[in-house]
Structures are given as structure tokens and as C-alpha cells.
Copies of this chain bind each other. A is one copy, B any other.
Amino acid sequence: MPSTALTFASVAEHRAWLATQAPLPRGFRVGATRFPFVPAEVHKPSAMTLTLIALAQPTSSFAMMFTRNALPGAPIIIGRRRLAADSLGAVLINNKISNVCAPDGEAASEALCAGAASILGLAPAQILPCSTGVIGWRLPVEAMLGALPQASAALQDASILPAADGIVTTDLYAKIRRRTVGAGSIVGIAKGAGMIEPNLATMLVYLLTDLDLPREVLREELAHAVAGSFNRMSIDSDTSTSDTVVALSSRAVPGADRAAVRAALTGVCMDLAEDVVRNGEGVHHVMRVTVAGAPDPELAATVGKAIVNSPLFQCAVCGNDANVGRLVMAIGKEVGARRAGTDLSRLRLTMGGLAIFGDGVFRLDPEVEAQLVAHLHAAELYASTPPADGLTFVPSARYPRHERVVEIGVDLGLGPHSCAILGADRSHEYISENADYRS
């Protein structure tokens, strides 16, 4: 969770805060360019942004984690090969089309790597390609190759903001988080707003540091940080075909104490994970479900996910409706399906810190109801406003107004394990966004 509870009164205030998070570590440059194109599959004019993250010198210290979706995109297939490479010199990222199960997808991504390599003076295998957007469509390779020189010309070493802006699709705003460690820093950016229940990595996350960390250390620390952050959240239970987390070290300043590195990297990842949920498609409320008293870590996590992924509970939270009966439904659904015969007689529930369930029964009355509704209202990021055409809802906030969340406590009374899961409600804006995303 964020170390400080931030509130923002306007887009300008949020952008000013992002600028404080944006200074690049030494040894990195980023640049982006936007250009028009027409998909081959549906002849509607569109626009794509191409983003470059380049190291001053190729580095052997890089770590990458990818989706466990069994039908991954071509960039994931190539990225897994790059894991064994000696060094990486740049990352090339496009939005709009994810290059998944498209004819000749790998060849398209490799052609782009070759184009970028020749401009940057690198070998093609030193470029990591990343794509996000519509599944099944082909990349407009010629248009992308044509745009590469502008992306390269835009490279600068002051701010990561152009990359944070460049990689988004349906995101409402850019997401950047930063920690300083010893003489260096760790900066991370994230793209992600839908198709978010990562399985070992999330949509697109780039973590840059100048701290001199050997490859093995970076890979170990990334795995640790991801397990406690991106793998503990869900917006819509859908696991992307393109989830990717990349960590790059320029090794420009001396490495720091391992514990300090771990705390900083985990902190950046947890902040970004919460940012991704807060900026989830149509999200009005972020939920944090803390499951305690679990007999093992797995059940703690799956019970938490069952709650945040319950469509009925999500809708109730969206409506500031304290329908806590659906909490019990979701817990019972998960435990009944996975651990039939489990005794839940010691189950205890809280919402906003208020005890609402124990000894097998709810403790509800109009006074408790009023307090729960007040907690929900306080955590609301924005409310729906009637759409101009009567049907197509557009979020009424383009920035995160605050960092308050709906706090749900579950004590299963079965053991010593616990887990915190981040999730979100379900709104009209999510439906509108996804009923015709491609148009």
C-alpha cells in the first residue's frame, strides 16, 4: 500500500505529483511517438504510440516475468528467449495491438527489433519487444518501422513520464512510483486497466534502477516483489496474454544493502499494483481484503480473490450498498468448492473496522448499516453521471482523487496464514468500456 495517503484535487495537481516521481535513474533514456494507422482486420482509422526505453550501455542485469496464460503473445514468446541473452540494450513497446495469435506474429516483432537495433547501434537480440492492445490482430509493421526514427529522436534522460504516458491503452492516467536507495533510485511505471488478474506478472510494468545489482540478485528480488504485489490483485479476474514485468539495472551507481533494495523494490511494486487497481476500467472503489486465520497461504489468497472477483459483491460496492451477505456467499463458494467439509464456525468479518459477523451469524441493524454505507461513500473515487447518449458511460474522473479504500477483514479461524488482496468494484463504466473496446 502507498506509504502516504495522497489526495489530488485536479488533473494538474496529479501531474505535478507524477513529475516528482519521474526522474530517471542514471544510465537510461526514454522517448515516445504517436502515429496514425489502419488495422487490417477492421478498416477503422486508429493511432498507436511507440515507446523506447534505452540503456546508455547494454546491461547483463535484467529480469523479466511473463504471463502464465497458455496462449501468450509473440512478444512473450520472444521475451522468454531473451531471458537467456547476455545483455539487453532497449525495450520497444507499442499499444493498441497486442500481437497475440496473429499470423506471422513473431516475425513481425523480430522485424521491429531489427529496425530498432539498427537505429540504436545494437544487435536485434538486445531489444525486448512488448505489445498491448487488441488480441488477434496483426501489427502494422511498416507504419511502426516508419515511426521508429521519431521515437529514437525523442529519447531524453530527464523524465520517465513520456514512457508512462506512451504505454497506456484504456488507462485514465499515467502511473509512476519511485524510491531512492543509497546513492541510486528505483523507478517503475505500469500500464493496465482491464484483463487484470495477473498470474505471475502483470500487464506491462517497467522497473528501472541505476543500482549495481547482479542479474541473479535482480531476478530474485523481482520474483519476491511480484509475488506480494501484482500477484495479489484482480480487476476483472481475466489473465492477459501479454502480462510482462521487466526490471533493468544500468549499474551506474554502487549497489545498496539487500534489505533496503528489497524494501524499495517491493514498495514500488505494491504502490504500482494499487495504482493499477485504482485506475482499473470503470473502478469507483478499490477494495483491500485482508484474509487472516487461513490454514495455508493458498486458501488465504483464493478466498481474497473470490471476494474481490464476485460480480455480485462488486456491484453492491459500486452502489455503496452494504450487501455484506454477498461476502459470506463468496467465502462459502470458494471454501465449499476447494475445501469441502471445512468448519467455518469461527469465521469473523469486519468492514471498515466494524465487526459484522461472528459465532456463525451476522450482527446487522440500521445503525451498523449506516456506518457501513458511510465507509463505502468515503472510499468512492467518483460516482456515475448520466451519459450524453443515454447509454455510453464515461468515467467522470481523469485522475485519482484519493487513496482511500474499502477495508474488508476476514478471519477464517483455521490457522496462522494471511494475505492481502487488492480488487475493485464493477460499474457501468466497465461495461461501456468493454462492450465495444475496439471501436
Q: Which residue numbers of A lie inside 8 Å of B, CB to CB?
A: 40-43, 67-72, 98, 100-103, 105, 134-137, 194-195, 199, 236-241, 309-312, 315-316, 318-319, 321, 323-326, 328-337, 339-340, 342, 344, 347, 357, 360-362, 364-366, 369, 384-387, 389-391, 393, 426-428, 430-439
Contacts and interface: CB of A to CB of B under 8 A. Distances in A.
B318 A435 contact: yes
A337 B70 CA distance: 8
B312 A195 contact: yes
B101 A316 contact: no
B336 A70 contact: yes
Contacts of A40: 365
Given A326-B135, A366-B41, A70 B340 contact: yes
Nearest to A339: B70
A389 B386 contact: yes
Contacts of A427: 431
Contacts of A102: 361-362
A435 B312 contact: no
A265 to B, nearest CB: 26
Nearest to A42: B369
Contact of A362 (B101, B241, B333, B426): B101
Nearest to A97: B325
A237 B333 CA distance: 10
A370 to B, nearest CB: 10
Contact of A439 (B321, B334, B433): B321
A323 B136 CA distance: 9
A298 to B, nearest CB: 13
Contacts of A362: 101-103, 136-137
A431 B238 contact: no
A339 to B, nearest CB: 7
A71 B432 CA distance: 34
A19 to B, nearest CB: 33
Given A435-B321, A436-B319, A41 B241 contact: no
7 contacts: A69-B332, A71-B336, A194-B312, A238-B330, A311-B434, A315-B431, A321-B436
Given A362-B101, A431-B428, A238 B329 contact: yes
A389 B330 CA distance: 31
A211 to B, nearest CB: 33
Contacts of A387: 390
A199 to B, nearest CB: 6
Contacts of A68: 336-337, 340
Contacts of A437: 316, 321, 323
B101 A360 contact: yes
A428 to B, nearest CB: 5
A136 B356 CA distance: 10
A357 B390 CA distance: 36
Contact of A239 (B105, B238, B333, B393): B333
A134 B325 contact: yes
A134 to B, nearest CB: 6
Contacts of A384: 391
Given A311-B237, A438-B323, A71 B332 contact: yes
A239 B326 CA distance: 10
